[in-house]
Amino acid sequence: MTPDQIDNVLGVGLIVIAAVALFVLAVPLRGKVRHVFRVIPGIVRLRRAIGLTVENGKRLHVSLGQSSLTGASAAAGLAALSTLERIANLSMISDRPPIATSGEGSLSILSQDVLAAAYRDGNAPEQYDPNRGRLGGVTPLSYAVGTMPVMRDEQVSANILVGSFGPEVGLMTDAAHQQQAFLVAASDTLTAQAVLYAAAEEPLIGEELFAVPAYLQAGPFHLASLQVQDILRWLVIALILGGIILKLMGINLL
Amino acid sequence: MKAPFATALAIAIGLLVLLGYFVPMPLLLNLRTILLGWAVILVAVATVVGVINLARVHWNKATRKEGRDIYSAVFLVAFLLTIAAGAVLGPTSPDFQQVVLSIQVPAESSLMALLAIVLAYTSLRLLQRRNGILAILFVFSAVIFLFLASGLLAGADSISPFKEIISILNRLPVAGSRGILLGIALGSLVAGLRILMGVDRPYRG
C-alpha cells in the first residue's frame, strides 16, 4: 500500500468509527439517561448570564466569527450556529431577542435561518427579525469594528464569541469589558486562544468550543458527541504511543 | 422532520464530496470539483446578500426618528461612493484600487496599533484578574518566549548546553499547539458528522 492509500484507509476508518459510536451512544440518550460531564466554569457562568439577561430585559449577543463554510474552519462556524440556536431557544421569553453578528456572508445568512427556525419551533415566529442576524464586516478588522457598536448600542449584557477568530478578537473583548458586560469566548485558532486567555473573562480552550451546545443541552447527539470525542482522543493517544514503541523497536510502517 | 428535501440534499452532497476525497474515482473527483465550485459561487452570492443586509441595518440606524447614528450615515456614503467608483472605473482599475487601499491600509494599520496597546494593557491586568498557577505560567512563558525571539541569544544558540536548552524550549509550544489542534480536529470531525447525519440543520429556517 502507498502512503496515500494508508492515509485514506485511516481517514475512512476514523470517520466510520466516529459515526457508529455517535449513533450508538446517542440512541440510548434519547431516553432518560443522565450523563455527567466535567464542570467548565465558563459555561456554568454563561448559563447564569443567560438567565440574568432574560430576567433583566437585556440582550444576548452571539458573535459567530469568520469561518468560511468552504474552508478549513467550517466546523467552528457550524458549532457557533448550534450554539446560537440553543441560545435563541433558551432566551425565547426575553423582551429583547438575541442578536448574532458574523464576519462571513454565508454565516450571516445561516444565522438568520437558525434564528427563524428557533422562533418557529418555539411558536413565536413574529419575534423573528432578519436584522438580528448581521454581517459585521468582511475583513477581520472590519468585522471586529463592525461588531463593537452592537455591543455598545443594543443593550447587550452578555456576549458569547464562539467561532473562528484572529487576534482582532482582542478589540471585541475590550469593547465588552468597557460595557461591563459578561463575555465567554472560544476560537479554533491558536492566536485567538492566546489572546482570549489573557483578555476574556471566561475563555474556552481547544475543543471546549465544540462542547458549548452540548453543555447548553442541545440534545442527545450533542451529548454523545462529547463521548465520541473522548473515545477518539484515547484512540489517537493509543496510536501515538504505538507509533513510538514501533519506532523504538526499529519498525517503520510509513 | 422539518425541511426534509433540504436535509436530504445536504446529506447527499456532503457524502458525495466526502467520497470524492477518499475514493480515487474520476467520476467522484469531477463531481466533487463541480460541487465545491458551486459552493464557492454560493458563498460569494451570500457575501453580497450579507453586505446588502449590512447596508439595510445602517440605513435603519441612520434614518430612525430617535437616536440617529451619524456613523451609519458616514458608512452609507462611503459604501455608495465605493460602489459608484468601482462601477465607473472597474474593480481592477489601478486608480480605484489605490484610492481604496490608501484609505483601508492606514485605517487597518491604526487598528492594529490599537490592538497592540489593548493586548499589552490586558496582559498587565491578567495577573490582577487571575492569580492561579496557570496565569503565572502563562505570563512566565510569554516572557521567556519574547526573550528567545528577541535575538538577544543569537550567539548562545551555538554553544552547548544553551543550544540544547533553547532547542527544547522552542519545541515546547509546538508540542502544546499540536495537542490543542488534535482536540480541535476531533471536535471538527464530530461536528461534520452531525451535519452528515442531519442532526444539525442550520439551513432549515
Amino acid in position A51: G
Q: Give contacts of A8 with chain B, Cβ < 8 Å.
A: 22
Residue at B95 is within a domain: no
In this structure, which CATH number among 1.10.287, 3.30.70, 3.40.50, 3.20.170 belongs to the domain A40-218? 3.40.50
Final residue of a structural domain among B37, B59, B89: B89
- Give the position of cell 461612493: B81
Residue B6 phi, psi dihedral angles, 5° rounding = -60, -40
Domain that holds residue B13: 1-89
- Binary contact (B115, A120; C-beta < 8 A): no
Q: Is residue B205 in some structural domain?
A: no
User: Which 8-state DSSP code applies to residue A167?
Assistant: T
List chain A residues with CB under 8 Å of B199. Answer: 219, 221-222
Domain with CATH 3.40.50 in chain A: 40-218
pTM above 0.80, yes or no: yes
pLDDT tens, chain A, 254 aa long? 777 888 888 888 889 999 999 998 888 766 666 666 788 889 999 999 999 999 998 999 999 999 888 888 899 999 999 999 999 999 888 888 999 999 999 999 999 999 999 999 888 888 888 889 999 998 999 999 999 999 998 889 999 999 999 999 999 999 999 999 999 999 999 999 999 988 888 889 988 999 998 888 778 888 899 999 999 999 999 989 998 999 999 887 66
User: Domain check: are B134 and B81 in the same one?
Assistant: no
* Residue B124 is assigned to a structural domain of this protein: no
8 Å CB contact of A68 and B49: no
Cα separation, A66 vs A98, in Å, equals: 19
Report the chain B residue with the minimal C-alpha distance to residue A190.
B177
How many Cβ pairs closer than 8 A exist between chain A and B?
192
Instruction: Quote the minimal CA–CA distance from A213 to chain B in Å.
Output: 11
**Cross-chain Cβ contact B180/A190 below 8 Å:** yes
Q: What's the complex ipTM?
A: 0.89
Answer yes or no: is B177 within a domain: yes
Q: Which residue of A has its CA nearest to B173?
A: A190
Chain B residues inside the 8 Å CB shell of A82: 191, 194, 200, 202
Site of grid cell 442531519: B198
Closest-CA residue of B relative to A172 is B115
Same-domain pairing of B9 and B69: yes
Number of domains in chain B: 2
Contact between chains at A233 and B183 (C-beta distance less than 8 A)? yes
